[in-house]
Structure 1
Amino acid sequence: MRKSNKGRIRAEKTQIILQAAEIEFVKHGYRGTSIQAISDAAGVPKANLLYYFSSKENLYAALLKNIISIWNQAFTEITEQDDPKKTLENYIHSKVQQAIQYPNASKIFATEIIQGAPNLKEYLQLETRTWLKNSCKIIESWIAQGKMKKVDPEKLIFLIWSSTQHYATYQAELLIITDKKQYQQKDITEISEFLCAMVLSGCGLSDHTN
């Protein structure tokens, strides 16, 4: 029981620190953000923060990895037996919801990629590359089973990534152009439905469910 409580407390503290770090990194960038500023924002003593994350670099890398993990979660446990229409639809809805409701994560990730992914290179080469290969194998299986039209699995996933992230990375521009102060749930639903219709149609799965 004690171990369980200790693990829960650690997970909660880690999440609090990551959330505070996300806000600070978006406001001030990597160079302009200090461990002290993050500890102040999180309400956690600096010594305690360094117990969970040994350095700013370590914390930043952990934040980036956490962002990717959350984004890909809806597509991580898919199987060859799953319905591709429902699975792709759920993934798109999840990605749009996350992108719009948590734009800071997308901004941090975009900045990292623009700079050449110095803090993410190893993770992308190992974890994300493996995730992509496994996901592509499942999609290839769906195609072989006749569940969906033949498409390039890799390009399909990249299309979903780019189209969903667009609404976060360019959120300020899109809100100004469309004369909105912020996205409402109605907007999120409409965006999700539009992207689902386009992607599923290209996969021969156009009669998607709401």
Structure 2
Amino acid sequence: MAKAKASEGNVRQKNKSLIFNAAKKEFVTYGFKGASIKRIAERANIARANIHYYFQDKTDLYQQLLSNIIEVWNRDYDTLNADQEPKAALSSYIRAKVMHSKNDPDSSRIFASELIHGAPVLEEYLNTDFREWLQSKVAVIEAWIEQGQIDQLNPHHLLFLIWSSTQHYADFNVQVVAALNKEEMNDEDFEEVVSSLTQIILKGCGIN
């Protein structure tokens, strides 16, 4: 019985992952209003009925996709912790954010689009869990300031700067590659982004 439940859980996780990946492409291409469950099923190469087995409708899929994006960010890209020195912590955070723009740009674009449109789905999250998470990061930065490890600055604006500068390479990639006279960015380009942003931000914080 336990093995059967585990197997069922693995199938569910695999199918939802396929659907989420297909939905990312669909929502990035057509936006929420233009997105189609039929096309998502075709992109995932699964029956449309399978999508409705896991999701009530397009709105439910979109809401769960956004929740999944945030869950992944909080799990895999949240490296700002008080148990590290600011140079190491900020450097790791900047790298993680840049690599997220490189490896999963569609998630960043969907999140940005949701905010641009007034965050109708994420409004409650922004006013609850997000605020709590953000305050925990602000507290880390304030502790560094009080200990004299970084210059006096506004923690919120430091975080806004990191988010905007790193996510720019996902959200505005078309502009970036045009400016760099490239068809696409390669691994070396992203390493240069990490190096440049880390240098600029650390120096702005007074870290040598």
Are 2:125 and 1:123 aligned? Answer: yes
Residues 49-83 of structure 1 deviation map (CA, whole Å, 9 limit, x = unaligned)? 22222221111122223333334445536442222
* Residue 34 of structure 2: aligned partner: 32
1:99–1:168 contact (8 Å) kept in structure 2: yes
Q: What SS is found at the alignment partner of 1:181?
A: coil
Q: What SS is found at the alignment partner of 1:183?
A: coil
* Residue 151 of structure 2: aligned partner: 149
Are 2:90 and 1:95 aligned? Answer: no
Q: What SS is found at the alignment partner of 1:138?
A: helix
* Residue 202 of structure 2: aligned partner: 200
2 CA distance for matches of 1:127 and 1:7?
Answer: 27
Structure 2 residue runs without a partner (length 5+): none
Q: What SS is found at the alignment partner of 2:119?
A: coil
2:108–2:167 contact (8 Å) kept in structure 1: yes
Taking only the aligned residue pairs, the percentage that are identical comes to: 39
2:55–2:61 contact (8 Å) kept in structure 1: yes
CA RMSD in angstroms comes to 1.9
Q: State the 1:23 CA deviation.
A: 0.7
Are 2:161 and 1:159 aligned? Answer: yes
* Residue 135 of structure 1: aligned partner: 137
1:75–1:135 contact (8 Å) kept in structure 2: no
Q: State the 1:109 CA deviation.
A: 2.1
Structure 1 residue runs without a partner (length 5+): none
Q: State the 1:194 CA deviation.
A: 0.6
Q: What SS is found at the alignment partner of 2:150?
A: coil
2 CA distance for matches of 1:110 and 1:20?
Answer: 18
Are 2:170 and 1:168 aligned? Answer: yes
* Residue 54 of structure 2: aligned partner: 52
2:77–2:97 contact (8 Å) kept in structure 1: no
Q: State the 1:181 CA deviation.
A: 0.8
Pairing partner for 1:105 from 101, 104, 107 = 107
Pairing partner for 1:186 from 176, 179, 188 = 188
Alignment TM-score, normalising by the size of structure 2: 0.89
Residues 180-200 of structure 1 deviation map (CA, whole Å, 9 limit, x = unaligned)? 010011110011111001111
Q: What SS is found at the alignment partner of 1:150?
A: coil
Alignment TM-score, normalising by the size of structure 1: 0.88
2 CA distance for matches of 1:101 and 1:182?
Answer: 13
Q: State the 1:10 CA deviation.
A: 2.1
2:79–2:93 contact (8 Å) kept in structure 1: no
